[in-house]
Structure 1
Amino acid sequence: MIGVKVMASRCYKGVLILLALMAMTACSTDPREAIVGEWREIDGTEEVEFLSEGTVIFSDQGLTFSGDYEFIEKDRIKLRLGGIAWLAGAIVAEVSISGNVLTLTANNEKPEKYRRVR
């Protein structure tokens, strides 16, 4: 009977290791895919939507700006907005996505955090 317990214990540990590896793989989703969707600023009123073809739409307090985005590195994005926002020029920001939270940090400023809406 001891042999069965040892074998069951090893099998259980193997399953736990496999589940941990699967969880780590799931957490390392490519930001280029994970960013697609709608996001709402956690401590503010801004909403942003990233479309799969490279369009981005920012909305805040009745104002809407759209433009395009592209990843220039795995964790860096370039945003080019139209309308009056065009005057600001292209914005380069670091991107971090953890679960349902998107963090954008532009020009070493305070990070902006957004929660996924859908």
Structure 2
Amino acid sequence: MEAKYQTSRNVYGSMAHKLPILIRNAGLVQALAFAQSRDKSEINLFLEHLAITINFTCKAQDFAAKVAELELAEYMYRTQQALDALLWYKRFVQSILDIDPSNAIQ
């Protein structure tokens, strides 16, 4: 049981470290779509947490589609909100979950 819990923490923490980079490189919608395509429960949980944090009420599977429907100004605002929130998530996984970028899983 402990090994599965540690693996779940690593997957969740890894996404917290990688998603900001994906957003900066590809954009918010593309990064969310990529994360959704991984189809792991831990990643879906992370995406749902992020959606709630930036005031979206949707499931992980619908997050990218909802963001894609936004007007440009709102999209840019939500992208900045997501990046700001992800900074907090990154600090959370480093301090509480003890996952740092060098040992995050691929």
- With normalisation by structure 1, the TM-score equals 0.23
**TM-score (normalizing by structure 2):** 0.25
Greater CA radius of gyration, 1 or 2? 1
Higher relative contact order (CA 8 A, sep 6+): 2
The structure carrying a bigger helix percent of its residues is 2
Q: Which has the higher strand share?
A: 1
